[in-house]
Amino acid sequence: MSISRRFSWLIPVIFIFLLPISAFGVSKEAQKHFDEAMRLKANELSKAIVELKEAIRLEPKWVEAHYHLGTFYQHKKLFDDALREYKTVGRLDPKYPKLHYALGALYYTQGVFAWTKAAQIDHSYLYKDDGKQVFYKKGTTPEKAIEPYKKIVEKDTSNALAFYNLRGVYYDLALLEYQQVVKAHPNDTAAQYDLGLVYLERAKINKAKEQIKILEKLSPGHATGLQQQMDMEEAQRKMLKGKK
């Protein structure tokens, strides 16, 4: 399975499953633009973004509008814009229930893109991760960890190592966000599954196996899916080793 095909579902996940909540205490005009954005998002996302930005102009502190604008940007692969909106959500409402899942999905998707670039430049980076390296140290701001690698790849788009390290930072950040979700909501199947995927990508196999056990109780179908993903990656790792 190709890298692009394998992860083609990632960006739409948050976009599809996290549905809007009607607002209270906002102007009718802002609500009208918000509703129009929700109507347009499936087929005319660029127009939906315009509508949502107008709703936010009228109601700058409308958390739900900022959140959905973030998901729209993420769907269009405008990751910096998406992160800006999620940060606004966190500033306006640090306990917003969908924030950590949104950030986890964003960081995971960015990690996949960085990993894809590294592997395209040098196939040895496809399964280089042994799960032992720490790419992101707690206490460091995400920006401080990300920016050095982003600057390198902006200047040198053929630097596979920088893309690989950037991938690792994004994956570690995704782990922290998903861990917060499942700690607060242990029955959140989507978060438990996504956490397992990130563990798998970081080659933390024992952790991924723990997620399979959790999912067997929550959703056997998700447990089977994660197990199949693990089996596929193990087969690919063995195949690559055999070619060396």
CATH label of the domain that carries residue 211: 1.25.40
CATH number, domain containing residue 71: 1.25.40.10
In the block, tokens 């009228």 appear at 58
In angstroms, the CA 179 to CA 174 distance is 8
Distance CA 65, CA 56 (A): 6
**Are 87 and 108 in a shared domain?**
no
130 in the same domain as 23: no
Its pTM stands at 0.87
Phi, psi of 39 (to 5 degrees): -70, -35
- What token pair was written down for 47? 């127009």
3-state secondary structure of 181: helix
Asked whether residue 12 is assigned to any structural domain, the reply reads no
Tens of pLDDT, residue by residue over 135-169, are 998 888 999 999 999 999 999 999 999 999 999 99
Query: Is there a single domain that holds both residue 222 and residue 131?
Result: yes
Determine the Cα–Cα distance for residues 63 and 22; give it in Å rounded to an integer: 11
Predicted local confidence at residue 26, as pLDDT: 86
Residue 62 CA to residue 223 CA, distance in Å, equals 37
> What per-residue confidence (pLDDT) applies to 244?
58
Final residue before a domain boundary, out of 63, 92, 121 = 92
**169 and 69 both lie in a single domain:** no
Give the confidence band of 173 by pLDDT, cuts at 50, 70, 90.
Answer: very high
Q: What average pLDDT does this structure show over 39-65?
A: 96
Secondary structure (DSSP) of 120-178: HH-GGGTT---S----S-TTS-HHHHHHHHHHHHHH-TT-HHHHHHHHHHHHHHHHHHH
240 has pLDDT over 90: no
In the structure encoding, which two tokens stand for residue 148, read together? 């050095």
What band does 39 get if pLDDT is binned at 50, 70 and 90? Answer: very high
* Range scoring the smallest mean pLDDT among 24-28, 48-52, 189-193: 24-28
Q: Which residues contact 111 (CB under 8 A, 6 or more apart)?
A: 166, 167, 168, 169, 170, 171, 174, 198, 201
d(CA 69, CA 46): 11
Q: 13 lies in a domain?
A: no
Residues 56 and 114 placed together within one structural domain of the fold:
no
Are residue 87 and residue 110 in the same domain, yes or no?
Answer: no
CA distance 222 to 229: 11
Per the structure, the complete domain to which residue 131 belongs is given by 99-243
Q: Is 50 exceeded by the pLDDT of residue 16? A: no
Window from 41-45, 73-77, 96-100, 137-141 with minimum mean pLDDT:
137-141
Same domain, 216 and 234: yes
User: What's 77's DSSP letter?
Assistant: T
Closest alpha carbon to 38 in 25, 89, 109, 30: 30
pLDDT digits (tens, 9 = 90+) for 114-141: 999 999 999 999 889 999 999 998 888 9
Q: Quick one: average pLDDT of 53-72?
A: 96
The pLDDT value given to residue 2: 47
Residue 4 has pLDDT above 90, yes or no: no
In a domain, 4, yes or no: no
Closest CA relative to residue 99, chosen from 83, 76, 123, 117 = 83
Same domain? For 129 and 225 the reply is yes
Of 92, 121, 151, which closes a domain?
Answer: 92
Q: Which of 103-107, 113-117, 229-233, 234-238 has the lowest mean pLDDT?
A: 234-238
* CA atoms of 51 and 53, how far apart (whole Å): 5
- Is there a single domain that holds both residue 176 and residue 77? no
Domain count, the chain: 2
pLDDT surpasses 90 at 100: yes
Average pLDDT over residues 88-92: 96
Both ends of the chain: CA-CA distance in Å? 20
